[in-house]
Chain A
Amino acid sequence: MSVYYVNKFLFQVDRDPELLAAYKASPAELVDAWDADLGRRLGNGDPVERTTWLRLEPEERTALVEHDYVALFEMGAHFFLCLTIFIALYDEDYSAEQGPLSFQREYAAKLSHWLGKDYPTVAL
């Protein structure tokens, strides 16, 4: 039920360069800080109103802290949100070391066990 909250994390962090840098440098601290404040704000970041019922399941928090896009795919996090944030975190470093699209191709290979199967739903 909290895949929504995972997607909210991906959506908000991907759009903010400071949050993104913190997520790359110190994922556990950033996930906890986000959960304590920005994640609790209503919708896209209302400064005053708060939502009270959202929470990360332990395996969701672990997947976010470990940058585990395979686990996030399998739990139904939205494929576009996952792709763009992890490209932001890894593409430049991979490209410098292994050439263009090397991160994207590794990402695909790590999901290859889903080829030919119905993917986990990303429905609301």
Chain B
Amino acid sequence: MATLSAVLATTHHPFFLKATELTPPEEQMPQAPEWKRKVEAYRETLTAAEPDILVMVGADHFHQFFHDNYPTFLIGKQPTYDATYYNEEREFSIPRYVLDGHEELSGFMLQGLLDRGFDFSVSHELKLDHSIICPIITTRPDGDLPVVPIYTNIFAPPLPSPKRFWDLGRAIREIIDEYPSDKRIAAVGSGHLSLELGGPRQFGETGPDPVFDRQAIEWLSNGDIDSILANVTHESMSGSGNATHGFMDLILMMGIAGPEKAAYVDDLDLFHTMEAYFTWYPSGDPRERTASR
């Protein structure tokens, strides 16, 4: 059976590459060096797990999906994935990428999800947007591993419940554990803490709800799904920022890991949002093995 060697849940700030690599040092924002150091430290948590395949979770931001046919949950099943979109290059300076896919695991995952009551859409023409490419840039910048992309709807209400995202994570975990392979699989997913886009709380000095951000980091750090499900609703997320529903993808990632303490937690308060980084090691912490060698 496959080994789930790491689960990573992270925010995806689309300006990371522009802020830290594409802007000359003398013109960078003051937080740029610290941001880069934190991202590089986070990258090591994935590198240490020595993955062969990445199961990637994110959300399309109206780049491919539209209201004429908006999927609730979708998996890509392709040999190759293009990224990114013209309007993301325009807005964020994210370059184009081509990633290998892993069609066999995509197919196994799709069947396993359907068998568990998750009626997924499937695409053979999925282009990846910044919710998946940003974590590639930060955690696997060479883009050298095959990916299985899973998209969730956190953007076009009505949305599935936080519990549904947790349950989907639990199902993905079962399927990875059952996958007949000697490969090491890492799950890497991205979402948001409190976030406002196109509303009166956007681009403030902090994220729209710093109190929620601190609480959310504590919940995820401790694997405290009971507190999340007791406190986080669509209404409460709206109260924390009109795009805070991306938090549900972080709940999904914790669902893959299980109700366990994270092995690695870090965060960074940027000018209008809180960045956060979590890693779980379901098969044991590879950094301890490395340290004991």
Contact = CB atoms under 8 A, between A and B. Distances in A.
Do the two chains bind?
yes
Interface of A: 4, 7-8, 11, 14-15, 17, 42-44, 69, 73, 78-84, 87-88, 101, 104-105, 107-109, 111-115, 118-119, 121-124
Given A43-B68, A124-B67, A114 B200 contact: yes
A78 B87 contact: no
B67 A80 contact: no
Contacts of B87: 14-15, 84, 88
Contacts of A73: 198-199
Interface stretch (B134-142, B153-161, B256-264): B153-161
Interface residues of B, number: 28
Given A83-B197, A108-B200, A4 B242 contact: no
User: Interface of chain B, helix or strand or loop or mixed?
Assistant: loop
A119 B68 contact: no
Interface of B: 61-63, 66-70, 85-87, 90-91, 155-158, 197-204, 238, 242-243
Given A79-B199, A79-B242, A80-B197, A123 B157 contact: yes
Given A11-B62, A15-B87, A80-B62, A108 B202 contact: yes
A78 B66 CA distance: 11
16 contacts: A8-B66, A14-B87, A15-B87, A17-B86, A17-B90, A69-B198, A73-B199, A78-B155, A79-B197, A80-B155, A84-B62, A88-B87, A104-B202, A113-B200, A114-B200, A119-B238
Nearest to A117: B200
Contacts of A44: 66, 68
- The interface residues of chain A, by DSSP majority, are classed as helix
A4 B86 CA distance: 23
Nearest to B70: A124
A11 B157 contact: no
Nearest to B85: A15
